[in-house]
């Protein structure tokens, strides 16, 4: 069977247990999962690209996971990497409409690349990088949501000890 590569794109600002769950489940289906940190996102991010890449590398540490950044169209990056699948996580119904729109557009741009949606694991259904940042900035406990290295990096950003 052909070697299968999937790309898991996102902001990862910062990486959470929700992202790691999707990566680990992706590794059951694909030989390699490329975690692709969007470089040109319009969003205002807390962590720089390099900080986000470093955090993902620290908490994944599997030689079947590659971590890199991309600029420009995701679909072009996917082709350049020789991948045939884009993985996206789905949480609440609210994710659906936006994700459906992007998947349709990507399919129009390159129909040989498939988008695969993975349902979130139930314990992560309300977990997002934004909510973790908000809780941490208010000095709340985030141990159930991010690995210790990510927690330390977040607390440092918010000048918490
Ligand atoms: P983006 O700005 O592209 O949405 P994110 O870093 O927020 O970037 O998300 C990247 C991917 O990870 C998306 O497919 C998102 O649905 C998925 N994801 C984020 N949090 C979770 C979670 N708790 N459970 C499942 N998937 C998640």
pLDDT digits (tens, 9 = 90+) for 54-104: 999 999 989 999 999 999 999 999 999 999 999 999 998 878 899 999 999
Residues whose CB is less than 8 angstroms from the CB of residue 66 and which lie 6 or more positions away in sequence, other chains included: 32, 33, 34, 35
For residues 44 and 147, the answer to whether their CB atoms sit within 8 Å is no
> What proportions of the chain, in percent to the nearest 5, are helix, strand and coil?
45, 20, 35
pLDDT digits (tens, 9 = 90+) for 90-132: 998 878 899 999 999 999 999 999 999 999 999 999 999 999 9
Distance CA 104, CA 89 (A): 16
| C-alpha 12 to ligand 1 mean position (Å) | 8
Ligand 1 atom nearest to CA at 126:
23
What pTM, to 2 d.p., does this model score? 0.96
The residues carrying an active-site annotation are 19, 43, 91, 129
| C-alpha 10 to ligand 1 mean position (Å) | 6
| C-alpha 131 to ligand 1 mean position (Å) | 12
């Amino acid at each position: 069977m052909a070697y299968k590569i999937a790309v898991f794109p996102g902001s990862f600002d910062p990486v959470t247990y929700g992202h790691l769950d999707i990566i680990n489940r992706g590794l059951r289906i694909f030989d390699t999962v490329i975690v692709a940190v969007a470089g040109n996102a319009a969003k205002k991010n807390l962590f720089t690209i390099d900080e986000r890449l470093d955090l993902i590398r620290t908490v994944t540490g599997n030689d079947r996971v590659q971590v890199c950044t991309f600029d420009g169209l995701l679909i072009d990056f996917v082709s350049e990497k020789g991948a045939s699948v884009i993985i996206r996580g789905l949480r609440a119904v609210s994710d659906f409409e936006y994700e459906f729109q992007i998947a349709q557009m990507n399919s129009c741009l390159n129909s040989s690349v498939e988008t695969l949606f993975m349902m979130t694991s139930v314990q992560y259904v309300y977990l997002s990088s934004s909510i973790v940042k908000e809780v941490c900035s208010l000095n709340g406990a985030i141990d159930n949501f991010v690995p210790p290295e990510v927690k330390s990096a977040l607390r440092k950003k918010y000048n918490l000890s």
